[in-house]
Structure formats: structure tokens, C-alpha cells
């Protein structure tokens, strides 16, 4: 039995944050019913066509779900929603601010009808405050949260290459839903969860915030290097390939000097006698390391780092990650179906194939509408009428 088997989740979701949250619930066995706009559906379906004509974002965040199309501007469709919610455990939504209130599907209204229902609202800035109605996309929250101010190179901010703000909010939605299910098991009552993308990202920004507390200088933009620990980041080898390495303490610094760059005298050099001093003199130290690595291939640098017990990594591209030998050795790849055929999918972190994570297909738009309507008691004639009116 999967951990969330028997849990029913109804969701009004689009883009990444809420779909990523509910996909985690589906992985653990929850039944996730995704309500989409007739004709177009979740607009993330059309971000690109890279996966045999399907969108990369969509196939990532929507496996193991059932798709129902409803035009919620029509009262007949709202009636379907309420029939779905009647025995639901969780309702997740990331519609535009104020949309659920206009539909009568906000927590204050739903709590009266469904006292055991857990409602998770995911938004850019939260359900109140002066920014409540401000539009929020991943890049904009990366900027508003201060993330861009410390990421990239000096004077050239860079966004994260994946939807980090959406992912942060989705994961806080997921963990809070899990906690609310445990709490409901003790109290018998539902719960309201208000997850903000801004607050999720600011939590993840806590180290640089504390580093800059009381008006102190914030971490500088350091590209792929660490802003406040050195040496920690990318270094070129003599063959032009890049090696990532990271030192955490003075013991490792001494080993690095002795066994990697083979300049033991540097361990006692006052310019580099602590992490703070190495950060102050990073440009000088960078030249010394570059000179030492210039006579070595990347493989030779990694071999020395491994022998010295210094943390290191290759700078892999996407093709190298697909073929990563560690993921293959641990059997972390599985397959899920899509309307365009099977695709590889990573097993949920922390879950093994022996746990039988749910791996149901990514749904086509409206694929489950008729089946779910019949399950709710609608006859074929009633379903036909709903289609004629455009409610589904």
C-alpha cells in the first residue's frame, strides 16, 4: 500500500508550483483530479513541444493525474466541482488572486460545507498584504526575493536555470499538506494552507540574508563559485575542461596544498590562513590554482582531489545527466506513459522501486472527464447536455 493511497486531491492548477506539489502527492499514491479549462487546459501544456510534441514542463509535473475539463464560469460545472469536493481530502489551487472567492471556492466558504477538507492556496505573494494582487512568475519572484542580486557574475545577474521559486512553493505546499493530513488524523478538522512563492524563496535565501544582517555587505555575485567560501567552485584544467571543487575547513585546505596543487608552503601563507583570508585574496589564489592545474587534465585533477579526500564534481550537461552512471547503478530511472508514448522518469527521491511509486501516465486534456462524471452519478444524457452547453 502506498502512503497516500485512499487520499483524494482535487486541484485547480496551472504552470508549475501547484502541479509540482500535487505530483508529489500522486507519486505517493494519492488520487489527483486535475480540473482544466475546456479546449486549452493548463497553459503549461503549450510551453514547448520537446517531448514527442508534448511540453517538457507539463510531462514533468503532471504524471499520475486524471484530467477533467470544466468551464467553471458555468453553474453546472461548479456543481460538478462540489460533487468532487464532497468526499475529497485536499483541494489545491494556484489560480489568479481572488478567483476562488469569486467562484465560492475559497477556504472560508468551503470550510462550512466540508469541515474536514484541507485547502492549500499557492500564490505569488500570499492571500493578503499590499502585493496580494500583483502578478507573479518564477523569474519575477527570483528577483523580488533577492535571489538575482547574489546570482550570476559581477554586474550581470543570472536567473536559476530551472523554476526554483515555483519548485520552492510547490514543495512547501506538499510538505504542509502532508502535515495537515497528520493533524486532521488527530483533530478530525481540515486546515487552511497559504503558501507564498515569495516567502518560500526568502526562506531559501536565509543564509545570504543573515550574512548581510545589520547592513553588512551582501555576498557578491560570483558566477558558479561560492561567494563566501574559497576555493569552492569551477576551475579549468589544462585540457580546457572544468572541474568543480569545494573546501570546507582548514584540514582540507592543508591537504589541498600538499596533495593537489603540491605547494605545501601555501598552507602556512598568511594570505590564505583562514577561509576569510582566502576569500579576501581569492584573485591571487585563483591564479596559483590555475597555474597548478594548467599542466593537468581534468581527469588527473579529479584523481588528485579524490586521493586527497577533497569534494569535487564534473560539470555535466543534460546529456551527461541522462547517462549518469550513479543514477543507473541505483536504478533511479523508470518509465511513465504519455499520449505520445512512454518516456523515462526519475523515481521520486527517497522512494525506491521496491516501494512501487505511482507511475501512471501523463493525461491527455479531458481524458477522464466522462469516466469521472459517471462516477459522480451523471448519466450519458446528462453528460451530453453538459457537453452541449460547454460546461465540460
369-376 contacts: CB < 8 A, separation 24 or more?
Answer: 369/67, 369/68, 369/69, 372/33, 372/66, 372/68, 372/84, 373/68, 373/80, 376/80, 376/83, 376/84
Please state, in angstroms and as integers, the Cα–Cα distance from residue 259 to each residue in 40, 134, 251, 326, following that order: 60, 54, 12, 26
Express each pLDDT in 182-212 by its tens digit.
Answer: 999 999 999 999 999 999 999 999 999 999 9
For residues 71 and 37, what is the distance between their CA atoms, to the nearest angstrom?
A: 6
Per residue in 311-368, pLDDT (tens digit) is: 999 999 999 999 999 999 999 999 999 999 999 999 999 988 788 889 999 999 999 9
Mean pLDDT of 167-177: 98
**Beta-carbon-side half-sphere exposure of residue 356 (alpha carbons within 13 Å):** 6
Measured CA to CA, the distance from residue 23 to residue 180 in angstroms comes to: 17
At 1 the pLDDT is 86
Burial 173-187 (b: 16+ CB within 10 A, else e): bbebbbebbeebeee
The C-alpha atoms of residue 4 and residue 357 are separated, in whole angstroms, by 11
Mean of pLDDT values over 118-140: 96
Average pLDDT over residues 263-291: 95
Q: Is 54 helix (H, G, I), strand (E, B) or coil?
A: strand
Domains (range + CATH), the chain: 8-204+332-389 (3.40.50.10540), 232-315 (3.30.1540.10)
Which of 133, 122, 169 lies closest to 12 in space, CA to CA?
A: 122
* Per-residue model confidence as pLDDT tens digits over 278-316: 999 999 999 999 999 999 999 999 999 999 999 999 999
pLDDT of amino acid 352: 82
Per-residue pLDDT at 137: 94
pLDDT > 90? residue 17: yes
2-26: average pLDDT: 97
Task: Using DSSP bridges, classify how beta strands 118-123 and 31-36 pair: parallel, antiparallel or unpaired.
Answer: unpaired
Grid cell listed for 79: 456543481
Amino acid at each position: 500500500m502506498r502512503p497516500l493511497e485512499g487520499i483524494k486531491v482535487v486541484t485547480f492548477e496551472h504552470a508549475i508550483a501547484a502541479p509540482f506539489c500535487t505530483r508529489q502527492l500522486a507519486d505517493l499514491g494519492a488520487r489527483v483530479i486535475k480540473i482544466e479549462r475546456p479546449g486549452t487546459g493548463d497553459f503549461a501544456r503549450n510551453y514547448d513541444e520537446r517531448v514527442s510534441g508534448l511540453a517538457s514542463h507539463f510531462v514533468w509535473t503532471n504524471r499520475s493525474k486524471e484530467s477533467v475539463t470544466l468551464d467553471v464560469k458555468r453553474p453546472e460545472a461548479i456543481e460538478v466541482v462540489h460533487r468532487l469536493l464532497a468526499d475529497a481530502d485536499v483541494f489545491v489551487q494556484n489560480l489568479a488572486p481572488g478567483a476562488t472567492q469569486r467562484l465560492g471556492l475559497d477556504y472560508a466558504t468551503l470550510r462550512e460545507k466540508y469541515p474536514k477538507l484541507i485547502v492549500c492556496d499557492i500564490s505569488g505573494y500570499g492571500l493578503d498584504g499590499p502585493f496580494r494582487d500583483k502578478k507573479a512568475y518564477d523569474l519575477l519572484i527570483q528577483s523580488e526575493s533577492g535571489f538575482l542580486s547574489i546570482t550570476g557574475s559581477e554586474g550581470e545577474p543570472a536567473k536559476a536555470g530551472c523554476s526554483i521559486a515555483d519548485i520552492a512553493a510547490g514543495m512547501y505546499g506538499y510538505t504542509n499538506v502532508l502535515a495537515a493530513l497528520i493533524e486532521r488524523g488527530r483533530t478530525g478538522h481540515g486546515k487552511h494552507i497559504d503558501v507564498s512563492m515569495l516567502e518560500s524563496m526568502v526562506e531559501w535565501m536565509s543564509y545570504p540574508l543573515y550574512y548581510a544582517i545589520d547592513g553588512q555587505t551582501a555576498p557578491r555575485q560570483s558566477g558558479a563559485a561560492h561567494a563566501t567560501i574559497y576555493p569552492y567552485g569551477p576551475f579549468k584544467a589544462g585540457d580546457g575542461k572544468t572541474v568543480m571543487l569545494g573546501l570546507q575547513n582548514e584540514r582540507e585546505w592543508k591537504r589541498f596544498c600538499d596533495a593537489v596543487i603540491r605547494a605545501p608552503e601555501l598552507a602556512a601563507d598568511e594570505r590564505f590562513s583562514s577561509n576569510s583570508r582566502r576569500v579576501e585574496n581569492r584573485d591571487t589564489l585563483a591564479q596559483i590554482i590555475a597555474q597548478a592545474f594548467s599542466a593537468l587534465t581534468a581527469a588527473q585533477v579529479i584523481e588528485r582531489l579524490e586521493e586527497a579526500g577533497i569534494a569535487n564534481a564534473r560539470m555535466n550537461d543534460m546529456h551527461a545527466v541522462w547517462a549518469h552512471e550513479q543514477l543507473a547503478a541505483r536504478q533511479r530511472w523508470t518509465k511513465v506513459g504519455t499520449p505520445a508514448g512512454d518516456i523515462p522518469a526519475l523515481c521520486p527521491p527517497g522512494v525506491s522501486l521496491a516501494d512501487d511509486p505511482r507511475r501512471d501516465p501523463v493525461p491527455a486534456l479531458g481524458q477522464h472527464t466522462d469516466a469521472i462524471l459517471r462516477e459522480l452519478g451523471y448519466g450519458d444524457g446528462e453528460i451530453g447536455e453538459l457537453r452541449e452547453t460547454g460546461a465540460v
